[in-house]
Structure 1
Amino acid sequence: MKKLQQMKWNSCLAIPVVMVLAIACKKLPEKKDYLSQDASFNMKSVYEPILGRTALELTQFSADGSTYPLIFSIENARTKNGGHTNVPELFQKVKVQEWKRDYTGLETSLAEIEAKRVWVEAPFLEVRSGSGDIIFRNAPSTLIRSYPDSGYLFDIKVRNKGNERIIKDFWLRPIKEVPYEPYEFDVYTRERKTESRPRPSGGGANIVPYTIHPTGVSKMYFTKDSLFTDTLISVYFTKENATGHSLTFKFVDPRFNPIDPAKFSNTQWDKILHGFNRRQTAMGVTYDVAYPIPLTQLNTTWANSGKANVKFGYSRKGFGGERLDASFGLNFAIYEPGDWTITFYFRRDPIFNDD
């Protein structure tokens, strides 16, 4: 009798165990990801990438507590005026160079630089699927609509597991190529900026109304006025051979005669530019270079804030044997390959000889 009661008690204990197992084995409903209706981009009123170069636009997406991972894609690309949805040029693949290994600025040859880059085919417009950042790749204005055309609109879809949202009306209005900076044309109207002085003989059409006021002005020039503020040095960019890979620095006096670069004796010619195989003559200094200059937006020995920086200088003895130093420099960028020349035109004759 006692044994029979014990068996009944064990049976009673087994019932809750079975029930618990049954509940545990039952599949719970899948939880739907959360996507905030306030999740959005820090949108500009208009995106104006300059054609002829590759640029990354950090859109700074605010998820507002949405569930990651999020996936971004471009939707409904169209022209702004007329709303034509047939805009295949935005997604047509173009041939561009991309880095497969990091550029450091410490490379010692063109070959070492080029070994870090590969040619790929990719669309002009792309959104990074994991971040929402937008890539504008190097494409010509012969392919992509550019200002004064009103350009394009497109939407971006953001989604996660089970939810999605369309963020509308990104305005894309590309600007025609700007081959170098500082630039002598207004980037929108392409009207030439004014320059009141003559250009160097044979200087070509590219005239930059960009002037430099060197340090040590009164020590550098024949002038009675130490506060002389007239235009001192003008800078000119010219290019030959669209497939070249050289850059030359030239210096000319007010009569357009060449100034021997050797006169700029304080210049560290092997440290002013990430170039190679320097050739120096009385006419100028030439380097083999990789384009664009600078090669990336990284700050390196050769560049800062997206511009290469060069500096030239010399010293001489003034009256009483005082050592006088003068220097001038330029922050610049060149975005197209070629055999380029940057000419520095001195408005007045610099004094190189000791007093």
Structure 2
Amino acid sequence: MEFKKFKLIKQMQSTIKKEFIFLLFAAVITSSCRKIFNLPKEKEYLSNNVNFANKILEPVLGRTNLIGGFNGDNSTQPIHFEIVNARYGDGRPVTDIFQKAQTYVWTAAYTGTEKSLAEIEAKRHLEEHPLFEIRSSGEFIMWPSATNDLVTPRPADSTNYPQDTRFFDVKITNTGGERLIRDFQIRPWRERPYDPADDMNLYTGGPAPFPETPYNVLSRNYIRPSRMDNVVGDSTDIDLGNDNYHRNNVLVYIRPFTGGNGHSLRFKVLNKDSVAIDPALFNETEWVRLVHGFNLVKTKEYVQYDVAYPIPLVNLSTIYAPGGSNAYIELKYSRTGFGQQRVTTVLGLNFGIYRAGDWEIVFHFRKDNPRFKDE
């Protein structure tokens, strides 16, 4: 048996050696034939069908926007992309989106496990980039340095006239040829410093009317919790989560506050008299894991962290941002309900904050206070 195994191995080695010699010989012959007969080198290929999935780009100013969708149709890589002939619909040249500004660029991977602000900041640095550009992958990027001050957003009256619309073409080249894809449009939305921004008119930046009464100037829309479980009114004994959309029992405000250090995030809960509820009553809340923050400060009115902005820092699923695109928090408490069953109340919110500063997220019980006492 050992002799047969040895013989089989020797045969396999001989076969591999012969195949290698044949391939090497074929390569030499092919190269020699090209030289002898003066055959042209193989030409790179650029398909006539290269295209983009979307030619109308609608980035939101003030945050990182990655817009993809390039289809090379098996064209030879690398491919070079260039934005050309940027103009408004009336022929005026477009220059504002190409001005340069400093923006954060990651030099090491963010994981969500960093132990300090310093560790996070060591993984990114400022670079100068055009506000809008196309990458070597064919992906468009609008950097967060593109703000309302530098780039005029779409008209506040929601019109879409050609003279207000930026057009451009994209020149695509490799050594196999050149293609020009015409008439892209870029229609930037004005900055939304936070999400959800249900309380904000996306065109004007002012207060948003209630969607069911859009022409009533006195109506207002609000941010509401993403999740409300077992939120019982203390005096009404009703589930405050039922029909919260119309009744506005519990609202959320995402707003700046004064007196922070420039990179603070604060959480607060207000009762129906707009008085702060002691965070200690939310006895099931995992405060140390609520957000990717540091230097936790807890008072009888709020809980505050030092954080790095934007939130979330990148589109990556972590314990703080399970879906990647938004952070998620839960304020929870438990109490004894009827039948001596333990009842857990949950206030949840999916959110993002895209402008550095001192921000607070406030849950406001407007019509009844939450019940904390046991039944």
Q: Report deviation, 1:68.
A: 2.8
Mapped partners of 1:247, 1:142: distance in 2: 25
Instruction: State the secondary structure of the residue aligned to 1:311.
Output: strand
Paired with 1:323 and 1:243, the residues of 2 have a C-alpha distance of 40
Q: Secondary structure at the residue paired with 1:270?
A: helix
Counterpart amino acid of residue 301 in structure 1: I
Is contact 1:182–1:208 with CA below 8 Å preserved after alignment?
no
| Count of matched residue pairs | 319
Question: Following the alignment from structure 1 to structure 2, what is the Cα–Cα distance between the partners of residues 311 and 269?
Answer: 9
> Does structure 1 conserve the Cα–Cα contact (< 8 Å) formed by 2:262 and 2:358?
yes
TM-score (norm 1): 0.83
Equivalence map 1:60-75=2 (5 Å): 61-75=70-84
Matched, 1:125 2:105: no
Partner SS for 1:287: strand
Q: 1:287 aligns with which of 305, 312, 322?
A: 305
Question: Does the 8 Å contact 1:55/1:137 carry over to 2?
Answer: yes
What is the correspondence of 1:161-310 to structure 2 with a 5 Å cutoff? 161-183=175-197, 184-194=199-209, 209-212=222-225, 214-218=228-232, 221-225=234-238, 228-229=242-243, 230-240=247-257, 244-303=262-321, 304-310=323-329
Q: State the one-letter code of the partner of 1:252.
A: L
* Cα distance in 2, alignment partners of residues 90 and 243 from structure 1: 31
Shift of 1:194: 3.5
Q: Secondary structure at the match of 1:341?
A: strand
* CA positional deviation for 1:94: 0.8
Quick one: distance in 2 between partners of 1:22 and 1:318? 88
1:106 and 2:126 matched? no
- Please identify the structure whose Cα radius of gyration is greater: 1
Which of the residues 328, 331, 342 maps onto 1:312? Answer: 331
Which letter does structure 2 place at the counterpart of 1:135?
Answer: I
Inter-CA distance 174–23: structure 2 relative to 1 (3 Å threshold): closer
2: CA distance between counterparts of 1:316 and 1:272? 21
> Is the 1:208–1:237 contact (alpha carbons within 8 Å) kept by the matching residues of 2?
no
Structure number with the higher helix fraction is 2
C-alpha change, 1:354 and 1:161, in structure 2 (3 Å) is same
Alignment match of 2:46 (pick from 7, 24, 35): 35
Write the distance in 1 (CA, Å) between the matches of 2:257 and 2:365: 23
Task: Give the C-alpha shift of residue 216 in structure 1.
Answer: 1.1
- Give structure 1 stretches of 5+ with no counterpart: 1-20, 197-206
Change (3 A) 1:157 1:243: farther
1:136 and 2:142 correspond: yes
**What's the offset of the Cα at 1:320?**
4.5
Query: Identity over the aligned pairs, expressed in percent?
Result: 42
Question: Quick one: distance in 1 between partners of 2:176 and 2:238?
Answer: 75
Q: Distance in 2 between matches of 1:289 and 1:104?
A: 15
Aligned partner of 2:340 in structure 1 is 321
Describe the superposition over 1:255-294 as per-residue Cα deviations: whole angstroms up to 9, x where unpaired.
Answer: 1111000000010100111111100000100000000011
More displaced 10-residue stretch of structure 1: 299-308 or 316-325: 316-325
Q: From the superposition, tell whether residues 338 and 65 of structure 1 become closer, same or farther in structure 2 (CA, over 3 Å).
A: closer
**1:173, distance to aligned residue in structure 2 (A):** 1.0
Aligned 8 A contact 2:103 2:126 in 1: yes
Q: Report the TM-score when normalising by structure 2.
A: 0.79
1:18 alignment partner in structure 2: none
Match of 2:24 in 1: none
5+ residue gaps, structure 2: 1-31, 212-219
